[in-house]
Amino acid sequence: MEKIEVRGTAKRRVPGTSLRAITGVSASGNLEVLVERVMPDRECMVEVTTAVAGFGDIWRAVIEEFFERGAPGGLRFSINDGGARPDTVTLRLMQGVRLMETTK
Amino acid sequence: MTGLLPAHEQDWYEASARERIAGLLDPGSFVEVLGPEQRAMSPHLAQFDLTGAFDDGLVVGRGLLDGKAVLIAAQEGRFLGGAFGEVHGAKLVGLLRAARDGAKEGGPQSVLLLLDTGGVRLQEANVGELAISEIIRAIVEARIAGIAVIALVGGRSGAFGGGGIVTACCSRIVVSEHARISVSGPEVIETNKGVEEFDSKDRALVWRVTGGRTRRLTGGADRYVKGRVQDFRDAAIALVEKAPPLTIATLQAEQRRLAERLRLYGDAKDAPEIWEKAGLSDPTHMADLTDDQFLALPMPKEADHDAR
């Protein structure tokens, strides 16, 4: 078990008023992402708990790219990971942003 | 939630616990209790190097079903096979006790249990078994208080182990073709009794013995539905009104029902022998029927009853 925390800044505050959303599932090859609007508008953060240790550099690269592309200002993402591939991680993070923009 | 189809159009088998709830209840009516942001997670899994889930694999709350207040719990069958652990179990016990306590005070009169579980988690076996016992007691107490407890089964993990017992304690049971309900799962039987007794890789055998169609034909389930979330919703709406109370008379009827079933079919070696004795035409091809064909079959008299 390994915990990874990555903080960043974002170009914008994610629009919408929803306070939280959850997507994905904590299972082998998958991950669940809990998104909460608890950060200052231009800051963001991802906390990862993963069953697969030793991939910290890849996690940081994926998350920093997501901060740049997804501009998830104001959001904290908490992840329970069951060994998802990087593309799945990016997909779930982007789904999380979309849910925060679209749900009430 | 993230699917392309509206929630009620989704396939029950493929949908997540949250998607099932969204499509089963009236749109937008679900209010979660002890949601993932509360992080009520298993305190046991980390020592086995297993990642937890923010809701410990069980979503509980309240909402409206066709305008009527209900309590609801849904297991996420993809997280540890939907298995019961300490927190997961405690959430369900709390929901059922809330139903019991509210029964006489204008609270919801029914509980929907969306079961999708392999049984008790091996990593929290003792507390998991205790949870099953407490859940069974809580279902019995809720039913005595007049609450209808409806089990809905059709997920990838079925309802096995303690989950099979919990299902059997409910007032009414809804299944789809994907449903499997049993206590000892196929792999457990094979491990203990050998592959000659039960080949868990033989999917046709597994479904003939534990599957939704078998359960429906022998009275082990009260409704058979096609696999959409909407189909489960329609069945739940119909059943919450007609669930039998848990009284001595109901228990005696259940005892008579089971004794009669044993008398009629106790010596059958496999399900097709039962269908044949029950007078169903073409008993060996039950699995090949479409859902519509199966639903059009005349049910054996023991399939419908006032027991449970």
Residue B283 scores a pLDDT above 90: no
Give the model's pLDDT for residue A104. Answer: 61
Contact of A18 with chain B, judged by CB distance below 8 Å, is answered with no
- Give the nearest partner residue to B37 out of A20, A30, A81, using CB atoms: A20
Q: Cβ contact (<8 Å) for A26 and B18? A: no
* pLDDT tens-digit readout, B200-236: 999 999 999 999 999 999 999 999 999 999 999 999 9
Contact of B91 with chain A, judged by CB distance below 8 Å, is answered with no
pLDDT (mean) for A63-85 = 96
CA closest to B47 among chain A residues: A1
B-chain CB neighbours of A79 within 8 Å are none
Residue B189 scores a pLDDT above 60: yes
A-B C-beta contacts closer than 8 Å: 49
- Give the nearest partner residue to A80 out of B35, B49, B53, using CB atoms: B53
* pLDDT tens-digit readout, B71-111: 999 999 999 999 999 999 999 999 999 999 999 999 999 99
Q: How many domains does chain A have?
A: 1
Q: Quick check: A59 and A4 in contact, CB under 8 A?
A: yes
- Please, which residues 8-27 of chain B have a Cβ atom closer than 8 Å to chain A? 16, 18
Q: Quick check: B230 and B6 in contact, CB under 8 A?
A: no
Q: How confident is the model at residue B5 (pLDDT cuts 50, 70, 90)?
A: confident
- Work out the mean pLDDT of chain A and round it to a whole number: 95
Domain extent for A98? 2-102
- Give the nearest partner residue to A80 out of B16, B18, B54, using CB atoms: B54
Helices (H), B67-196: 86-102, 125-144, 162-168, 186-193
The CATH number given to whatever domain includes residue A86 is 3.30.230
CA closest to B39 among chain A residues: A34
Give the model's pLDDT for residue B3. Answer: 56
pLDDT (mean) for B262-272 = 92
Residue B30 scores a pLDDT above 60: yes
Q: How many C-beta atoms lie closer than 10 Å to residue B277's C-beta?
A: 14
* pLDDT tens-digit readout, B46-75: 999 999 999 999 999 999 999 999 999 999
Give the model's pLDDT for residue B255. Answer: 95
Contact of B157 with chain A, judged by CB distance below 8 Å, is answered with no
Q: Cβ contact (<8 Å) for B79 and A25? A: yes
Q: How confident is the model at residue B1 (pLDDT cuts 50, 70, 90)?
A: very low
pLDDT (mean) for A22-51 = 97
Contacts of A37 (CB under 8 A, 6+ apart): A14, A18, A19, A20, A74, A75, A100
Q: Cβ contact (<8 Å) for B53 and A25? A: yes
Distance CA B297, CA B283 (A): 11
- Work out the mean pLDDT of chain B and round it to a whole number: 94
- Give the nearest partner residue to B49 out of A26, A51, A103, using CB atoms: A51
Q: Give me the domains of chain B, ranges plus CATH numbers.
A: 7-181+220-245 (3.90.226.10)
Contact of A36 with chain B, judged by CB distance below 8 Å, is answered with yes
Q: Cβ contact (<8 Å) for B2 and A80? A: no
CA distance A25 to chain B (A): 7
ipTM comes to: 0.95
Q: Cβ contact (<8 Å) for B79 and A78? A: no
Residue B2 scores a pLDDT above 80: no
